[in-house]
Amino acid sequence: MLNKTKIAEGGRKLRKNWGSSWVVLAGNSLVFYKVPPASIPTGWGPAGSRPESSVDLRGAALAHGKHLSSRPNVLHVRTVPGHEFLLQSDDETEFRAWHRALRDVINRLERE
Ligand code: I3S
């Protein structure tokens, strides 16, 4: 579970709107869900697990988002189409794990 806000879409700046999101790193994509899968009641059907959005990490840029927020532990992701968002966790260990995982995927995609 991470805090997330989009800050640009197609290169156009957006006003921040922080919210929490269940984030899954799946293959070359980051997939965002409103709620964790375990909180979806069984029998609710597949619609309950539909992602809210996803981004392709190929060619994406990853940086520390320190200068973009007053919050601690912020990552800044910019994708090829010019979508930018911030991911934040109050838990530094979790933040480091996300930083490492995203960096590794983005680097691997660069070498492909
Ligand atoms: O980069 P900013 O403009 O200081 O970001 C803050 C604002 O988005 C603020 O909302 P208002 O636009 O209604 O002032 C948010 O409530 C803050 O959380 C944003 O700053 P942080 O430092 O939390 O990213």
Model confidence over 55-95: pLDDT tens digits? Answer: 999 999 999 999 999 999 999 999 999 999 999 999 999 99
Taking alpha carbons only, the member of 16, 13, 31, 4 closest to residue 83 is 13
48 pLDDT higher than 70? no
Is the shortest distance between the CB of 96 and ligand 1 below 6 Å?
no
Q: What is the pLDDT of residue 14?
A: 98
pTM for this model (two decimals): 0.90
* ipTM score of complex: 0.87
Q: Distance between CA atoms of 3 and 30, rounded to whole angstroms?
A: 14
Is the shortest distance between the CB of 66 and ligand 1 below 6 Å?
no
Average pLDDT for the chain: 92
How deeply is 108 buried, as exposed, middle or buried, from its count of CB atoms within 10 A (0-12, 13-18, 19+)?
A: exposed
Question: What share of the chain in percent tops pLDDT 90?
Answer: 83
- b/e per residue 23-43 (b: at least 16 CB within 10 A): beeeeeebbbbeeeeeebeee
Residue 42 Cα to ligand 1 midpoint, Å, equals 37
